Structure 1
Amino acid sequence: MYGRNDLRASLAPKATKPAPTAFKKASYEPFYDAPPQQSTDLARTWLARGQNLIVAYSEVEPGAVFERTAQIDEYAVVLPEDGAEVEIEIDEGRTIARDKSVAFVPPGDSKVTVVKGGRILRLFTVKSEDLAALCSNADAYAQRDPNVAPFQAWPDPVGGRKVRVYSGNVAPEQGRFGRLYRGSTIMVNFGDGRVGPRAADNLSPHHHDDFEQYSIALDGDYIHHLRWPWISDSTQWIDDDHERIAAPSVAVIPPPATHTSQGVGEGLNRLLDTFCPPRFDFSAKPGWVLNADDYPMPEPKEDAA
């Protein structure tokens, strides 16, 4: 059940799915507590993954460069706070992203050059096999999660090949949840976070039927509370999680675990939530996805007779 005044309570319920017969545990990756998978004089990068998505978290200085050659599908570059700036180059031209923003980069060759340093996130699907192999938790996904729907990209954007950049500083609006942007492979939700601990009597436990949530802690300290259903096969039961983990980190939350994240730090507690592919339920809410005109939704599937 969502907390008081949580706009996600208005989402339409999905059709009932067959009951699961096995579950996957969550994956928690504390970037602050491990060496980076990639390191240069100008950038340190930690990589972790889930079933569908790779999170590359980097602390960067001006002049750092990230290149992709023959990138297989679209990826996202996220600047999580003001003050950072990058130049993104593809064959068709160069684009600047600055301050809190997300850029969707088309497949093929691309180069990201840091102009003003700070922190950046790059989000890829696991089709980028070279990056998937580097992930600190790669072994956890050697076997597929049976409850995650097979990945399928959404339609290409309107207007052809170019880098599309969107601000994460759009003012809040009554009745709209967060600041949601979607690409053809990934959805990003910018949240403001909150200062101080979240009230223990106003959490938002909920579950997803067939997709993961990637909660990237950017600031503060969190407890991720998870509970899995009991099924007839007790050998598949999983104990509740109450995982305390600070920022920077990522929690990969599998379906159909009931979950809620509780900020417990005295300062700013802030998450960036991502989904791969984009969420249908968020996308179906008029006005929630701020770049919906650029990225069409798939045609609805007809129910089997």
Structure 2
Amino acid sequence: MYDKSDPRASLVAAPVAKSPVTAYGAADYLRFHEGPPQQSDALQRTWLGRGQNAVVAYSDVEAGAVFERRGQVDEWALLLPDRDGKAELVVGDATHALPGASLTFVPPGDSVLKVLQGGRIVRLFTTRSADLADASVNAAGYREPRPNVAPFAAWPAPPDGFRVRTYGLDVPDEPGRFGRIWRCTTLMVNILPVSRGPRDVTKLSPHHHDDFEQYSLVLEGVFIHHMRWPWTPDMTMWRNDEHESCGTPSVAVIPPPAIHTSRSLDPGVNQLVDIFSPPRLDFSLKPGWVLNAADYPTPAGPQGGA
């Protein structure tokens, strides 16, 4: 249920072969700001959290920090949210300069990330990166698969092959478009606009997803994540409503089919980044919403591409 001013009110749900919901999965609220990092050294502190399909790695870094991936199984994403951020990425024989306020998709295989300017970095992976999934603060909660989440399947490879692709975040808002969305074969990242002050409580957006998770990363400010699970004939499935306050940095892992909406609280700056793995088809089918749609095809078939 969206306010009529919300661009998502125009979405047409992609057809889903629905199975009966016989159990509900819990939401996870990963308040990185309250706990110790899962990985650290003299130049970086990294918090790791996961869902069924994706891992979020949030790091506070100093210049000189290095992050290596050897034999990386699939594409991953690097977000440099700070405008004065700066890094370089070595893939094969090439070194790529990465500016601040950018999102980069990194191909499978070996890579070395070198931080040149201290600040924040966010790395996004699928849970096929087992070392990071197993190191996540909430890994124990995923020893058994969560219900209602469709099995992960990567989207088609780009026609010109895998390579480093960097996109600047300075894309102006556009009427009718929701956020700033980019996708690769494994992930979709929506950098939502900065908001100032608490959200108008008369224009919230309670909605649900049939079979995929949403990862809501708080980059600035404080948000309350409101969560409700629909009643079913089986009362043993029922769950209490949740209204969880999460500061910066934090990640809410929102399971299907929980009804959810998030409300900014801080009187200053608030910003969310929404992450999906694999990419969302409904967003991808909206003309102009995915800013790099020409680089990555949608899946073949009646619901997607040709």
Global fold match (TM > 0.5)? yes
CA distance in 2, matches of 1:234, 1:260: 24
Q: Could you say which residue in structure 2 is the equivalent of 1:163?
A: 164
Question: Which residue number in structure 2 is paired with residue 197 of structure 1?
Answer: 198
Structure 1 Cα separation of the partners of residues 173 and 147 of structure 2: 37
Q: Which moved more, 1:94-103 or 1:58-67?
A: 94-103
Structure 1 stretch 90-99 or stretch 51-60: which is displaced more?
90-99
Structure 1 residue aligned with 2:236: 235
Deviations 1:224-260 (CA, angstroms, capped at 9, x unpaired):
0010011121111111110111111000000000100
Contact kept in structure 1, 2:14 and 2:281, CA below 8 Å: no
Question: What is the aligned partner in structure 2 of residue 6 from structure 1?
Answer: 6
**In the alignment, residue 185 of structure 1 is paired with which amino acid?**
T
Which residue identity does 1:162 align to in structure 2?
R
| 1:30 partner amino acid | R
User: Aligned partners of 1:280 and 1:92: how far apart in 2?
Assistant: 35
Q: For residue 260 of structure 2, what is the aligned residue in structure 1?
A: 259
Give, in whole Å, the separation in 2 of the partners of 1:81 and 1:215: 18
Q: Which residue of 1 aligns with 2:187?
A: 186
Q: Which stretch of structure 1 is more off in the superposition, 256-265 or 231-240?
A: 231-240
Distance 2:223 2:252 in 1: 10
Determine if contact 1:2/1:205 at 8 Å carries over to the other structure: yes
Matches within 5 A, 1:41-56: 41-56=42-57
With normalisation by structure 2, the TM-score equals 0.96
- 1:267-287 Cα distance to aligned partner (Å, 9 max, x none): 111101110000000000011
Change (3 A) 1:19 1:38: same
Please report how far the alpha carbon of residue 193 of structure 1 lies from its aligned counterpart in structure 2 after TM superposition: 2.2
Q: Distance in 1 between matches of 2:239 and 2:95?
A: 48
Contact 2:154 2:186 in 1 (8 A): yes
TM-score scaled by length of structure 1 = 0.96
Measured after TM superposition, the shift of residue 59 of structure 1 is: 0.5
Cα distance in 2, alignment partners of residues 161 and 148 from structure 1: 27
Q: Distance in 1 between matches of 2:184 and 2:53?
A: 15
Alignment partners' CA distance in 2, 1:84 and 1:280: 31
**Paired residue for 1:175?**
176
**Counterpart position of 1:26:** 27
Deviation at residue 157 of structure 1 after TM alignment: 1.6
Runs of 4+ in structure 1 off by over 3 angstroms are none
How far is 1:92 from its partner? Answer: 4.4
The root-mean-square deviation of aligned C-alpha atoms, in Å, is: 1.2
CA distance in 1, matches of 2:186, 2:117: 27
Q: CA deviation at 1:14?
A: 3.6
State, as a whole percentage, how many aligned pairs show the same letter.
Answer: 54
Helix, strand or coil at the partner of 1:48: strand
1:88-108 residue CA offsets vs partner (Å, 9 max, x unmatched): 111141112212111000010
Shift of 1:132: 0.7
State the number of aligned residues: 302
Take 1:69 and 1:167, find their aligned partners in 2: how far apart are those partners? Answer: 26
Is contact 1:221-1:244 (8 Å) kept? yes
User: Distance in 1 between the 2:302 and 2:131 partners?
Assistant: 33
Report the CA distance between 1:29 and its aligned residue.
0.6
Aligned to 1:293: 294
Is 1:283 matched up with 2:297?
no
| Cα distance in 2 for residues equivalent to 1:92 and 1:282 | 35
Superposed displacement of residue 18, structure 1? 3.2
3-state secondary structure, aligned to 1:9: helix
Q: Is the 8 A contact 1:220 1:265 kept in 2?
A: yes
Q: 1:186-221 CA distances to partner (integer Å, 9 max, x unpaired)?
A: 000111221100111110101111000000001111
* AA of the residue aligned to 1:10: S
* 1:133 aligned counterpart, secondary structure: helix
Query: Contact conserved, 2:216 with 2:275, CA < 8 A, in 1?
Result: yes
Residue 58 of structure 1 contacts residue 119 of structure 1 at CA under 8 Å; is this kept in 2?
A: yes
Please give the alpha-carbon distance, in whole angstroms, between the structure 2 residues aligned to 1:233 and 1:111.
51
1:6 aligned partner, one-letter code: D
Q: Quote how far apart the aligned CAs of 1:81 are.
A: 2.4
SS of residue paired to 1:32: helix
What residue in structure 1 maps to residue 215 of structure 2? 214
Query: CA offset at residue 158 of structure 1?
Result: 2.9
Whole-angstrom CA distance in 1 between matches of 2:14 and 2:4: 22
**1:13 CA displacement:** 2.4
Q: Partners in 2 of 1:262 and 1:224 — Cα distance?
A: 7
Given residue 19 of structure 1, which amino acid in structure 2 is its aligned partner?
Answer: P
**Contact (CA 8 Å) 2:188, 2:277: kept in 1 or not?**
yes
> Do the aligned partners of 1:92 and 1:161 also contact (CA within 8 Å) in 2?
no
